[in-house]
Structure 1
Amino acid sequence: MAGIYTHLISGFLFPLHEHLKRHASVNVRKSMEQTQWFSPEKIVQLQTEKLRQLLIHINTHVPYYRTLFAELGFQPEEAGSLADLQYLPFLDKSIIRTHLEELKSDQARGLVRFNTGGSSGEPLVFFIGKERVSHDIAAKWRATRWWGVDIGDPEIVVWGSPIELGAQDTLRSWRDHLFRSRLLPAFEMSDQKLDDFLDTIRRFHPKMLFGYPSALSHIAKYADKSGIKMSNLGIQVAFVTSERLYDDQRRQISDTFGCPVANGYGGRDAGFIAHECPAGGMHITAEDIIVEIVDSNGHPLPYGESGEIVVTHLASRDFPFIRYRTGDIGILDDRTCDCGRGLPLLREIQGRSTDFVVAQNGTVMHGLALIYILRDMPEVKVFKIIQESLDFTRVQVVAETGLHPSQISRITESFQTRLGRDVKIKVEQVSEIPAEKSGKFRYVVSKVAGV
């Protein structure tokens, strides 16, 4: 049961915060909490109408799609089913790079630039408008409330994005303090840092945890090894996202912190795609997201078959994501969840795997500490980091053009700052980086024992 302070935050202060930022997240969330109980058939009708309106809008206001529809002879007014999406080509990172300006709506105002590496380590620049932000916030908020917690309940966030960490200015710090959200940087996992993390969690008494599954499970293992009891703090749920959640990680987090683990799937580019409910269903945010599963030739696959996850975001009029290839692998489920929600289900999500790396002095760090160095270099197209030993790390890079010696020096120096000044960093420029034998792409691989 939420306390008075949580009611004040979720019912007044956070809505005021969103209103001042000109976000419609409060009304969107309230609408979603009604539509989630629609029948699957009614949800498809809702999606179909939203899709038609989106296609009509971008045909008028987005130069890239206006040209594309004309070339294809595609009439968005005639779109009458979700299957009509299959008349349109896929959107991928290379298309976004090539047509970045043409993908902006001529009505868009206040677009925010984002930079993400995606699940393949391939950097991408794109833009998001207030409509899209509002819907993504609302979707996450709704999923949070499924677990009996709300904005304003004490929260520990174990995260590593410089977008968040770099935003810890005075205003952001005060906001987080007001909303009872504490951010712990996930990059460095030394014993001293882990001791500090556990001490902070114990003193803060959060109702929820949020972070990478690899980071939370690593903290949990350390707590067990150190004999520090964490299951008596009243934590109600641990939300994990950004990586594939493995069964052993789920067990470790749940056992150590004494709470269920709720898996989430999405990204800055594709949106808040799906989230797990207490009944175990991985519900797609169907009011905003259409998910297709396609084979290697781009042909749609039926329920139960594994293929690439392709996403259409229905609240992306300012910078459309239509049939966007995520590079992740998943399976759609045709069953109805026991919770009674009509939202469709993802049976399984495969793909993203972020490893830890170990610095020369023994400090364990999240792989993202190295990933962000390359991700924020626009000339780097694809990369893979292989930590061969404590003293040697290879960095494979596919670049649009050959890297300048100064850029190679920048990579080397940045890696040595994190791994150790005496570590040899070898930057290898290659034409392509193949996937693993399993078909998955691992963009950080550490061969150091004990990681």
Structure 2
Amino acid sequence: MNLFDISLRLNGFPIKKASRALEMIQDKNDRDFEAYILLKQQEIVNYHLQNNSYYKSLIKNPTITNWNKIPVMTKRDLQQPLNKRLSEGFTSKNVYINKTSGSSGDPFVFAKDKYCHALTWAVIKNRFAWFDLDFNTSKQARFYGIPLDKKGYYKERFKDALSKRFRFSVFDLSDAAFETCLKKFEATNFNYINGYTSSIVQFAKFLQKKNIQLKSVCSTLKACVVTSEMLFDNDKRLMEKQFGVPVINEYGASELDLIAFQNTKDEWQVNSETLFVEILDEQNNVLPYGEEGRIVITSFYNKAHPFIRYDIGDIGILSKKSTLKKPILEKLIGRTNDIAILPSGKKAAGLTFYYITKSIIEDDGNVKEFTIRQSKIDTFKIIYASAEDLSETKIEIIKTEMENYLEKGLTILFERHDQIERSKSGKLKQFSSLMKSNT
């Protein structure tokens, strides 16, 4: 029984119609696809200018025809009551409503019309099928957060049951918890792992310590899909070795759709069917393929709520190999609010600190995981989880490398914990800044 599809239909999401529409879009040749993009750009702007007073107030010039002149929306534009942002004919009763995680520092509630949300699931199902994974039949080992209130907890457990998945807690990453996970894998025919990168990496490290490859105890395992957090090359290699299956990188946003998904050729293929992804500079000029800039996305099918030239808050590069029909995300560099401002005025991507430290801090297996926080313009604290303190030698190496890569005169503090506290969602933010000038 196709319980997943049935649950979507019962909730008013027309998954069959959406799946057929997706197939028709994918069947277009390059010339027809270009015409499709131009048509959808025009249609979605015109629709919201005619039906959404909130968007009309943002656009200011309703006769604008040049796509590149259409204003860029930001998350802060959306931090007002949802009922003020909905299009005519839509209410909280006939849309899908959710909220962003707030990892960007600008959380808000959003809405999708039900056909748009069905298309989101059609795209996700299509991408997972590249690796012979089916939401109706494939059993998922899920490493995600879960609400701790009784109502939210049981709601998620019910959804898990309908979706053929078993949820492991990401709030307890102790060896004892992973021993329980391992026993569940031994007793269950899981087909794939899905969840937050950092917690799955910790499970792989646990398996490495025990010298166990997961596929040897769970032979039905086909793949591991990681999402929501950065995936580093050495972590990917570790997971593939310890799991014995391909590790697939997913990039998405709850308010939009699946944005990019690693294909079978190891390319991070961008969703061009329901989204239009652009890379812009600080002046909102479109950058050519191969250049780094802000990721700005348009949702073609959301009639309930406009996401048109929406700055998602991430920085990335589209590969020079990209085409309109098949854009390739070459690199996801981090969030725009993860930029560190240094005493000299120099700016550095927050992940720079993480890369530098990661190459030194994890080589002996003592440190399980860590995060970096900027508390002052010249002060950075490395908070790490380990059984014992970092050696003075390693501390000095890290400080020296920070100066080499960034600048001299920085204060680097170290703080050891038994376990790092995660956000309510269960995510681990690799770098964060408390500097107001950083937003």
TM range (shorter): 0.7 to 0.9
For residues 39 and 430 of structure 1, do their structure 2 counterparts lie closer, same or farther at Cα, with a shift above 3 Å needed?
same
Root-mean-square deviation (CA, aligned residues, Å) is 3.5
Matches within 5 A, 1:110-121: 110-121=94-105
Question: Would you say the 8 A contact 1:153–1:207 is kept in 2?
Answer: yes
Query: Which residue of the partner structure matches residue 198 of structure 2?
Result: 214
Distance in 2 between the 1:91 and 1:15 partners?
A: 33
How high is the TM-score relative to the length of structure 2?
A: 0.73
- Secondary structure in 2 aligned to 1:231? helix
Matches within 5 A, 1:10-89: 13-69=3-59, 71-75=60-64, 79=65, 84-89=66-71
Question: Would you say the 8 A contact 1:237–1:262 is kept in 2?
Answer: yes
Query: Which residue of the partner structure matches residue 144 of structure 1?
Result: 128
Query: Which residue of the partner structure matches residue 85 of structure 2?
Result: 103
For residues 41 and 281 of structure 1, do their structure 2 counterparts lie closer, same or farther at Cα, with a shift above 3 Å needed?
farther
Q: Does 2:147 match 1:162?
A: yes
- Secondary structure in 2 aligned to 1:348? strand
Question: Would you say the 8 A contact 1:91–1:322 is kept in 2?
Answer: yes
Question: Would you say the 8 A contact 2:260–2:270 is kept in 1?
Answer: yes
For residues 128 and 203 of structure 1, do their structure 2 counterparts lie closer, same or farther at Cα, with a shift above 3 Å needed?
same
Q: Which is further off, 177-186 or 54-63?
A: 177-186
Distance in 2 between the 1:148 and 1:343 partners?
A: 21
Question: Would you say the 8 A contact 2:314–2:332 is kept in 1?
Answer: yes
Cα deviation, 1:96-117, whole Å, max 9, x if unaligned, reads 1147443211211423443324
Distance in 2 between the 1:221 and 1:153 partners?
A: 25
Q: Does 2:225 match 1:239?
A: yes
Query: Which residue of the partner structure matches residue 406 of structure 1?
Result: none
Alpha-carbon distance, 1:283 to partner: 1.7
Read off the aligned partner of 1:66 and give its amino acid letter. Answer: K
Read off the aligned partner of 1:72 and give its amino acid letter. Answer: N
Distance in 1 between the 2:225 and 2:148 partners?
A: 19
Question: Would you say the 8 A contact 1:294–1:300 is kept in 2?
Answer: yes
Of residues 259, 262, 279, the one that matches 2:265 is: 279
Alpha-carbon distance, 1:159 to partner: 0.7
Point out where structure 2 has 5 or more consecutive residues left out of the alignment. 336-349, 359-365, 372-378, 386-418, 423-432
Percent identical across equivalent pairs? 24
Alpha-carbon distance, 1:166 to partner: 6.3
How high is the TM-score relative to the length of structure 1?
A: 0.71
Question: Would you say the 8 A contact 2:213–2:244 is kept in 1?
Answer: no
Matches within 5 A, 1:4-403: 8-9=1-2, 13-69=3-59, 71-75=60-64, 79=65, 84-98=66-80, 100-109=82-91, 110-151=94-135, 152-160=137-145, 162=147, 167-169=152-154, 173-232=157-216, 233-335=219-321, 342-351=325-334, 388=383
- Secondary structure in 2 aligned to 1:253? helix
Read off the aligned partner of 1:176 and give its amino acid letter. Answer: D
Distance in 2 between the 1:278 and 1:308 partners?
A: 27
Q: Which has the higher contact order (CA 8 A, sep 6+)?
A: 1
For residues 430 and 235 of structure 1, do their structure 2 counterparts lie closer, same or farther at Cα, with a shift above 3 Å needed?
closer
Distance in 2 between the 1:256 and 1:315 partners?
A: 40
Distance in 1 between the 2:18 and 2:172 partners?
A: 37
Distance in 1 between the 2:273 and 2:151 partners?
A: 32
Distance in 2 between the 1:164 and 1:271 partners?
A: 27
For residues 266 and 417 of structure 1, do their structure 2 counterparts lie closer, same or farther at Cα, with a shift above 3 Å needed?
closer
Distance in 1 between the 2:23 and 2:243 partners?
A: 29
Query: Which residue of the partner structure matches residue 436 of structure 2?
Result: 432
For residues 68 and 74 of structure 1, do their structure 2 counterparts lie closer, same or farther at Cα, with a shift above 3 Å needed?
farther
Question: Would you say the 8 A contact 1:270–1:326 is kept in 2?
Answer: no
Question: Would you say the 8 A contact 2:250–2:261 is kept in 1?
Answer: yes
Read off the aligned partner of 1:256 and give its amino acid letter. Answer: Q
Question: Would you say the 8 A contact 2:96–2:117 is kept in 1?
Answer: no
Distance in 2 between the 1:326 and 1:165 partners?
A: 32
- Secondary structure in 2 aligned to 1:55? helix
Distance in 2 between the 1:389 and 1:312 partners?
A: 38
Distance in 2 between the 1:334 and 1:228 partners?
A: 40
Cα deviation, 1:210-230, whole Å, max 9, x if unaligned, reads 012222111011111023331
Cα deviation, 1:402-441, whole Å, max 9, x if unaligned, reads xxxxxxxxxxxxxx9969xxxxxxxxx9770538xxxxxx
For residues 123 and 173 of structure 1, do their structure 2 counterparts lie closer, same or farther at Cα, with a shift above 3 Å needed?
closer
Query: Which residue of the partner structure matches residue 426 of structure 1?
Result: none
Alpha-carbon distance, 1:247 to partner: 0.5
Cα deviation, 1:131-151, whole Å, max 9, x if unaligned, reads 332121111111111111111
Distance in 1 between the 2:147 and 2:235 partners?
A: 25
For residues 190 and 431 of structure 1, do their structure 2 counterparts lie closer, same or farther at Cα, with a shift above 3 Å needed?
closer
Cα deviation, 1:150-198, whole Å, max 9, x if unaligned, reads 11211111012539996442x6545533542111121221111111122
Question: Would you say the 8 A contact 1:188–1:365 is kept in 2?
Answer: no
Alpha-carbon distance, 1:245 to partner: 1.3
Distance in 2 between the 1:179 and 1:117 partners?
A: 22
The number of equivalent residue pairs is: 360
Read off the aligned partner of 1:205 and give its amino acid letter. Answer: N
